[in-house]
Amino acid sequence: MMPFMMRLQEAIRSKGTPLVVGIDPHLHLLPDCLLRRWSSTGGDPFQWISEAVEEFCLSVIDRVAPLVPAVKVQSAFFERLGPLGMVVMGRVLSSARDHELLVICDVKRNDIGSTARGYAEGFLGSEGESCSPDQKWRKSDDESAFQTLPSPWASDAITVNPYLGGDSLDPFVQVAERSQAGIFVLVKTSNPGSKDFQDLDCSGSPLYLHVADKVEQLSIATRGSGPYGVVGAVVGATFPKQVAELRARMPHTWILLPGFGAQGAGSDHVRAAFDARGSGAVVNSSRAILFSFRNSPYADHYGEQNWQDAVLQATRDSIEQLSLN
């Protein structure tokens, strides 16, 4: 298997767009017709809401798979539903893989070293054959004993929070290298409050640039003979000045841009994220596509009953909008 960033580049070339669809099933924005149908089955609300979320996500994946290279699945909305929601997240990730989409699991995880390894090994990698670690674990107290256990979530990439520092990133980088996966480290996030700490002046440059330098260093260390390493960066499309600054500061780092669409960023906001060959960045849109049936112009054309058609058209329109770059 090729390294993740090369697979991503190839998928973008093949589909002709760097648009990633964000699978963010906000419960209160799901189509009422879907919720009404599942709620009528009665019983445990976690059960029927999980069923509704699963149907919604699988329908979206089925519609957008021919059009885009990857999906970004937001774990928070599945965790909201407890263990049942996590079972559904597993099925959603699996469906995306079955549709030959690359899967970025947006978990924003991190912890101290030995624990970070748990997250990294859990999320990154391919399903593979279920191995049998029954011999290996007899080597008591050996941290590698369960390394051969495959990744149950089997994502191609995840998002990672840098606050805990370099030694918390290392396990993710190691596991990503080993399993041809990738990570996207939060550098400058798309929300207004990202200024509170990320923009603080640390010895003459904002905190996010210190994080960016660490990310670029890890990217260079893992790029092999390719232009990009296994470590990418999350940079909010809502901050076009920082997008340009960070593209220049991290020439060997893929950039994942949230904030396109519903958060207000347009194609002019993301242009600077791409390298001279038009590569090196993906642009995520979640709500503007998933819940397009609620908003103009899609609400009038399709209405809630035909929300899947609105998803399809909004995806096409977002691709078109991005191609105006």
Distance in Å, CB of 16 to its own copies, minimum:
29
Q: Taking the complex as a whole, how short is the minimal distance between the CB of residue 277 and its own copies, in angstroms? A: 30
Q: What is the size of the binding site for its own copies (CB under 8 A)? A: 87
Q: How far is the CB of 14 from its own copies (least distance, A)?
A: 29
Which residues, 6 or more positions from 318, have their beta carbon under 8 angstroms from its beta carbon? 19, 260, 261, 285, 288, 289
Q: Alpha-carbon distance 200 to 266, whole Å?
A: 26
Instruction: Pick the closer one to its own copies by CB: 15 or 294.
Output: 294
Query: Under rule CB under 8 A, which residues in 163-202 are in contact with its own copies?
Result: 163-168, 186, 189-198, 200-202
Nearest to 96 by CA among 54, 129, 130, 131: 54
Find the binding residues for its own copies in span 84-143 (CB under 8 A).
84-87, 89-90, 106, 108-116, 118-119, 121-123, 130-134, 137-138, 140-143
Contact between 33 and its own copies (CB under 8 A)? Answer: no
Per-state percent for the chain, helix, strand, coil, to nearest 5: 50, 15, 35
**The one catalytic residue among 15, 72, 108, 188:** 108
**Minimum distance from CB of 8 to its own copies (Å)?**
22
Are 119 and 107 within 8 A, CB to CB?
A: yes
- Residue 13 vs 36, nearer CB to its own copies: 36
From residue 210 to residue 249, the character string flagging contacts with its own copies as x (rule: CB under 8 A) and all else as - is xx--x-----------------------------------
Residue 188's beta-bridge partner residues? 235
Contact criterion met (CB below 8 Å) for 315 and 308: no
Compute the distance between CA of residue 133 and CA of residue 125 in angstroms, rounded to an integer: 17
188 is annotated as an active-site residue: no
